[in-house]
Amino acid sequence: MRRSVFYPPRALLLILLLGGLLLSAACQPRFEGRPTALPTRVPTQTPTPTITNTPPPVPTATPSPTPTLTSTPTPLPSATPTETPTPIPPRPAVLFPLKAGGANTVNWSYFYLSRKELRDDGSLLSLSATVAFQLLDRGIHSETVRVRDQDVTVYYLRVSHIFNQVPIETKLVLTGFFGRGVPISALPADGAAFVNLRSQNSDAVFEPWRIQSDWLLPFEQRQNLFQQMTLSDFEQLLADLPERVILLAHHPVIWRPDDWAQADLDMSRLSAQTARLNPFFDHDAFDILTGQSRMAEAWSAYLLQNQPIPTDIAQAGLSYSAEYLIIVIP
């Protein structure tokens, strides 16, 4: 006889509940291969920050501005004479009593004919003269002229001579140098840079014919009778001259026709002769010497016949030249 097991009521109830749960779980259908109601989250990979070596910024070099050279074309020189302005104040010379040979009065209208040759028919063959001038200032002026297709810087003095009681300003040409606007300080030490000078005091006998005779001596004999002076030194001498001074210049006016070829040759190669002879000769468009100028003829008519200088020549600018100079002071 089997002995029955007796459970208390509370335990029995617990057993029944547990059995019901197990039965319910056994009868529940299985779901396989289907997605769950809530999607499964895929774990995300958190990137690990990597340290990147960043070099410090390199300062950029700012290029310095480079000046751009712009070539400016040099203007071509004009063919017209160009006078060089000079700040030389007026300072007219004052006349004082002077006699030539103890007889003829020397003043601003004085001249002496040192050479006068006539042909058999009485026409003039050649003429040279020493002419007295009044200095209008105490400096050397310059201008550029075109002579035979080349530039020549001409150096001259501002002077005045009285023609038949009419004073006319004149350019007294001293010398010249090939080139445009060449300053005196740039002249080389050759013949173009020198002037020939004879100076004396008024208490000595003044005889322009004797001075001319000395000039015609051979160079070796006359070099001690005339002073060769550079333009720079002569410019200083002018500035130091007293108020009372008389200046005279000697030069040929009319040449023998046989001497024209030599004069033309000298004008082509010697700048001093080019400057001094150019006012007395004319050339045609082909640079061929055609004869002496109207100005040379005007000087000749004045010196020989006391004819007035034509108005057009005086207005165009009267010139004379200095083969040598004479300076007389009290």
Amino acid identity for residue 128 in this structure: S
All residues at 6 or more sequence positions from 27 whose CB lies less than 8 Å from its CB, including other chains: none
| C-alpha to C-alpha distance for 104 and 119, rounded to whole angstroms | 28
Torsion angles phi and psi, residue 105, rounded to 5: -75, 135
| C-alpha to C-alpha distance for 179 and 183, rounded to whole angstroms | 10
pLDDT for 13 = 56
The reply to whether 64 falls in a domain is no
**CB atoms closer than 10 angstroms to residue 312:** 9
pLDDT for 90 = 96
The answer to whether residues 164 and 143 touch, using CB atoms and an 8 Å cutoff, is no
How many helices and strands in the chain, by DSSP H and E? 8, 15
The reply to whether 70 falls in a domain is no
pLDDT for 11 = 56
Cα-Cα-Cα-Cα torsion 194, 219, 178, 249, nearest 10 degrees, comes to 60
The reply to whether 249 falls in a domain is yes
Which of 265, 245, 197, 228 shows the shortest CA–CA distance to 94? 245
The answer to whether residues 209 and 114 touch, using CB atoms and an 8 Å cutoff, is yes
How far CA 199 is from CA of 103, 249, 258, in Å, comes to: 20, 12, 33
Domain span at residue 256 reads 87-329
The reply to whether 237 falls in a domain is yes
∠ at Cα 64 (60, 69), nearest 5°? 150
pLDDT in tens, the chain (330 residues): 444 445 555 555 555 555 555 444 444 544 443 444 444 444 445 444 445 454 545 444 444 454 444 444 444 444 445 454 557 999 999 999 999 998 999 999 999 999 999 999 999 999 999 999 999 999 999 999 999 889 999 999 999 999 999 999 999 999 999 999 999 999 988 889 999 999 999 999 999 999 999 999 999 999 999 999 999 999 999 999 999 999 999 999 999 999 999 999 999 999 999 999 999 999 998 889 999 999 999 999 999 999 999 999 999 999 999 999 999 999
The reply to whether 81 falls in a domain is no
The reply to whether 60 falls in a domain is no
pLDDT for 190 = 81
Question: How many structural domains does the chain have?
Answer: 1
pLDDT for 66 = 46
The reply to whether 159 falls in a domain is yes
The reply to whether 325 falls in a domain is yes
DSSP at 95: -
| C-alpha to C-alpha distance for 309 and 322, rounded to whole angstroms | 19
pLDDT for 44 = 46
What is the rounded end-to-end Cα distance, in angstroms, of the chain? 194
The answer to whether residues 266 and 277 touch, using CB atoms and an 8 Å cutoff, is yes
